[in-house]
Structure 1
Amino acid sequence: MTVCLRVYPDRDPQLVAVDADIPQVSVLDLGVTRGDGVFEVLTVVDGRPQAVGPHLRRLANSAAMMDLPPVDLELIGQAARRVADAEYRAGQAHELLVKVVVTRGIEDAAPPSCTCWVVAFPNPDHSRERREGIDVVTLDRGFPHDIAARAPWLLAGAKTLSYAVNKAALREAARRGADDVLFTSSDGYVLEGPSSSLLARFGTRMWTPATAQGVLRGTTQGSAFEYLGRRGFATGEALLRAEALEQADALWLASSSRLIAPIRTLDGRALSVDHGLTDAMNEALLARTE
């Protein structure tokens, strides 16, 4: 069973349950024809959607960057909670994902109106990656680290539906025998993964690449930093040169679906894996409430 709600901010009822196996989006929708839209993916543990506020704020920021019509965050939050509860009750899955999609809607529609839907589905089993770690390669994103300030129209830092480049990067990683990618800027700074944030530990300091580089603000990374702060770690954003990672005590990729996965090799170089801290972060994340 896949639970899906269409969101209609200007209609009554505003939330309509639909069959996820039947097409619901027009072939003229700009999300389909041009990837013109934004999305978010929330983790759900035992029916509890996690980090709802940070995800919705990031959705609103992405929509604003793309000049989309305003999105009703409260209504989308209601939809996320409803589909999470319905899917959990139907399948009793321990971990679920809720995906929120907002597109620009039908091309040349008057007045302009977004298309929005929210769908819940089981999260694949990521226990092996969390336990054993992942193999990662660095790939050049092709832009300097200050591209967000120099060319904001490139939408660096927005979570858009245009994921063709990210998927191409993951296929390249697979060709190289790796599980995931860590993007670097053309001038040698560390950025992010196609769908993840980097955590880098240097002693009792934990850094993530600066969002000013056009890096998407990580919701899972943010929750991990809250936990690490309670553990006594200094946390923050930093401009990290790629070569600085060689001095890191441990590296992780953080994402909503996989949570915290330690990087065991980077470009074929074996890294130290802090299993104890990895387990502690994942336990804290799985125990989160909204």
Structure 2
Amino acid sequence: MAWRFALMIDPAASDDPRTDFSGTFRIIDPATPALSVGELSTQRGDGIFESIGVVDGHAQEVGPHLERLAHSAQLCDLPAPNAAQWRQAIELAAAESPAEGEGVIKLILSRGVEHGPAPTAWVTVAQAADNTTARTRGIRVVTLDRGYDSGAPARAPWLLLGAKTLSYAVNMAALREARRRGADDAIFVSSDGLVLEAPTASVVLRFGDRFVTPEPTGAILHGTTQLSLFDHLRAEGHDVGYETIPVADLVKADAAWLLSSVRLAAPITEVDGIAIPVDAGLTASINRYLLSPRD
């Protein structure tokens, strides 16, 4: 049976010296209404979020997710989250998940109610989808033009391309388009022909013994799972790097994956109808690592 837990947060200032923030949390019934009709997260997508994988009751990569939440808040001119408060909320949510199995914790920080005095914040945890098929059999992807060139983030920082915002309509439209084309997922590319990222995942390619991902510019959301994997690969003696990757190089890779916090490593089997090799053994090893407890 699917499970879910939710709590609202009264956001504390980033320099609040308290060590116990339990009085700022309000547990709510996730099946009942909880947001005002004036809430800007639902009216305009004006807010930020993070999705944290939970494995056997353990929240994965909490520190990197909180760092990225703070980075997104800065880009969006939102109040800086109090890391200790959010960490305590994550611990409470993780404690409500089963001791076995996978889940996902979502952190949401919104600008709040229109003309209101303060942001709105909440945390949910729920059972994750079964991603076994994607991890073992792989996924087919298509490339989709993101609609801007590689220099756009520097010219127009107000596009918030490096922030994880609630405005995910384009990302969801890209997934629907991918499915209309007979694929499982998409990879965004710049209008000048460079690989960016997937709508909800990072792209990692292997060429020989070197693992690469697109250079983390303002156009790409730096993936917490990708960062963790690169640390692991370095420790295993592999060469890793950030590069400018032309679209044509996707089908030249010896193996490729989409990486995300919940689906983990999904091997790419096909790009725009062209088959690429799948390293099943390496993929299984990567996912064993990603399923191990990671802080």
The TM-score by the shorter chain falls in which range? over 0.9
**One-letter amino acid of the counterpart of residue 49, structure 1:** A
CA distance in 1, matches of 2:267, 2:240: 17
Look up the SS of the partner of 2:7 in the other structure: strand
1:85 paired residue number: 95
2:111 paired residue number: 104
Does 2:29 match 1:22?
Answer: no
- Moved >3 Å (runs of 4+): none
Deviates more, 1:206-215 or 1:153-162: 206-215
**One-letter amino acid of the counterpart of residue 291, structure 2:** L
| Structure 2 counterpart of 1:72, from 79, 82, 96 | 82
CA distance in 2, matches of 1:131, 1:31: 36
Look up the SS of the partner of 2:97 in the other structure: helix
Q: Summarize deviations over 1:205-236 as a string: whole Å, max 9, x none.
A: 11111111510000111111111111211112
CA distance in 2, matches of 1:213, 1:238: 14
Look up the SS of the partner of 1:282 in the other structure: helix
**One-letter amino acid of the counterpart of residue 78, structure 1:** Q
Q: How far is 1:151 from its partner?
A: 0.6
Does 2:163 match 1:158?
Answer: yes
Does 2:217 match 1:212?
Answer: yes
2:242 paired residue number: 237
CA distance in 2, matches of 1:85, 1:24: 22
Contact residue 11 and residue 121 of structure 2 kept, 8 A: no
Q: How far is 1:147 from its partner?
A: 1.5
Q: Summarize deviations over 1:226-266 as a string: whole Å, max 9, x none.
A: 11111211112111010122321111000011100000010
Q: How far is 1:289 from its partner?
A: 2.7
2:42 paired residue number: 32
Deviates more, 1:40-49 or 1:227-236: 227-236
Contact residue 196 and residue 254 of structure 1 kept, 8 A: yes
**One-letter amino acid of the counterpart of residue 135, structure 2:** R
Look up the SS of the partner of 1:254 in the other structure: strand
Contact residue 11 and residue 120 of structure 2 kept, 8 A: no
Aligned-pair RMSD on alpha carbons?
A: 1.2
Percent of aligned positions that are identical: 46
Does 2:154 match 1:114?
Answer: no
Q: Which runs of 5+ in 2 are unaligned?
A: 13-20
Aligned residues: 285
CA distance in 2, matches of 1:59, 1:43: 15
Q: How far is 1:74 from its partner?
A: 1.4
**TM-score, normalization: structure 1?**
0.96
| Structure 2 counterpart of 1:6, from 5, 8, 14 | 8
CA distance in 2, matches of 1:13, 1:162: 30
Contact residue 146 and residue 212 of structure 1 kept, 8 A: no
Q: How far is 1:186 from its partner?
A: 0.3
